[in-house]
């Protein structure tokens, strides 16, 4: 599965046992993404039911629910599949030569399918009919918001990987998502699987087709920008050697 990652050293966002059957690892990715999408869509529908509490309360509730669900899922399933639940993490690992193409494609398919099923499950448990969202098409500010939110998320994910802080990575990801959902006008979807599934979601998290297309391009742009940043901050040679660059004293 991995070309550069040592599963004994990486315990977050890489499988502990890359020899485990691909179907099993991909299935875990699918189930995890389903549960993540259930939290994303369900929190929006729950906030909609409690609309008299004010939109700010709904946004904060959605941020906490989404981030908390993701932290729990990464901790629970990270050793089996890596705990991605996001095609951008999988795709950037493939781009870095850390994941084979067959594994990448299996993960992407499972993540997108899982998110779609999660959106459907949220609609079932809340009894909300599928409805076309009425949100306006995004302008450049929303596009930039989604690109920046995604870049921040990928920087946190891969920064934790490269600095070998696997034990805190789930909590770092959750902390960033909580902040980004509240602090960005696009509400930081930052996940193509969740964004695509928002086409079939009702409630505040639903997105029209034009917004989905714009967000997907923004997310890809942000992910690539974060990848360049991480490559600059953590040169590949130092990562392969298992150590970070040592600061030099200008007086020596």
Lowest mean pLDDT among 4-8, 38-42, 145-149, 157-161: 4-8
Please check whether residue 49 lies inside any domain of the structure.
yes
Please check whether residue 248 lies inside any domain of the structure.
no
Please check whether residue 250 lies inside any domain of the structure.
no
Please check whether residue 246 lies inside any domain of the structure.
no
Please check whether residue 245 lies inside any domain of the structure.
no
Question: Using 50, 70 and 90 to split pLDDT, how confident is the model at 135?
Answer: low
Question: Using 50, 70 and 90 to split pLDDT, how confident is the model at 138?
Answer: confident
**First CA to last CA across the chain, in angstroms?**
43
Per-residue pLDDT tens over the stretch 162-175:
998 888 999 999 99
Q: How many domains does the chain have?
A: 1
Please check whether residue 247 lies inside any domain of the structure.
no
Residue 234 or 236, more confident: 234
- Range of 53's domain? 22-128+135-240
| Helical spans, DSSP H, in the chain | 22-49, 55-81, 87-95, 101-126, 140-162, 169-183, 192-197, 209-233, 236-240
3-class DSSP state of 147 = helix
DSSP 8-state code for residue 244:
P
* CA–CA distance, 145 with 90 (Å, rounded to integer): 22
Q: Looking at residue 217, which CATH number applies to its domain?
A: 1.20.1080.10
Computed over every residue of the chain, the mean pLDDT equals 86
Single pTM value for the model: 0.88
Q: What is the pLDDT of residue 202?
A: 82
The percent of residues in the chain predicted with pLDDT above 90, rounded, is: 68
* 59 has pLDDT over 90: no
Please check whether residue 175 lies inside any domain of the structure.
yes
Please check whether residue 252 lies inside any domain of the structure.
no
How far apart, in Å, are the Cα atoms of 199 and each of 133, 135, 174, 207, 213? 8, 12, 24, 5, 10
**Tokens at residue 2, please?**
């991995």
């Amino acid at each position: 599965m991995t070309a550069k990652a040592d599963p004994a050293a990486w315990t977050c966002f890489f499988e502990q046992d890359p020899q485990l059957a691909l179907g099993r690892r991909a299935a875990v990715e699918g189930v995890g993404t389903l549960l993540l999408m259930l939290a994303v869509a369900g929190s929006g529908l729950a906030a909609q039911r409690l609309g008299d509490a004010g939109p700010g309360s709904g946004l904060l509730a959605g941020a906490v629910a989404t981030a908390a669900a993701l932290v729990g899922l990464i901790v629970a399933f990270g050793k089996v599949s890596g705990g991605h639940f996001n095609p951008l993490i999988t795709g950037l690992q493939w781009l870095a030569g850390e994941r084979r193409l067959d594994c990448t494609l299996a993960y992407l398919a499972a993540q997108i399918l899982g998110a779609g099923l999660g959106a459907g499950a949220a609609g079932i448990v809340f009894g909300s009919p599928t409805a076309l969202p009425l949100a306006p098409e995004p302008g450049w500010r929303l596009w930039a918001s989604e690109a920046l939110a995604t870049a921040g998320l990928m920087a946190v994910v891969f920064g934790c990987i490269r600095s070998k802080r696997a034990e805190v990575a789930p909590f770092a990801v959750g902390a960033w998502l909580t902040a980004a959902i509240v602090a960005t006008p696009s509400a930081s979807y930052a996940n193509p699987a969740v964004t695509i599934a928002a086409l079939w979601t009702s409630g505040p998290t639903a997105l029209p087709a034009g917004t989905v297309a714009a967000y997907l391009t923004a997310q890809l742009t942000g992910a690539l920008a974060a990848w360049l940043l991480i490559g600059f901050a953590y040169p590949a040679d130092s990562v392969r050697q298992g150590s970070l660059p040592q600061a030099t004293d200008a007086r020596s």
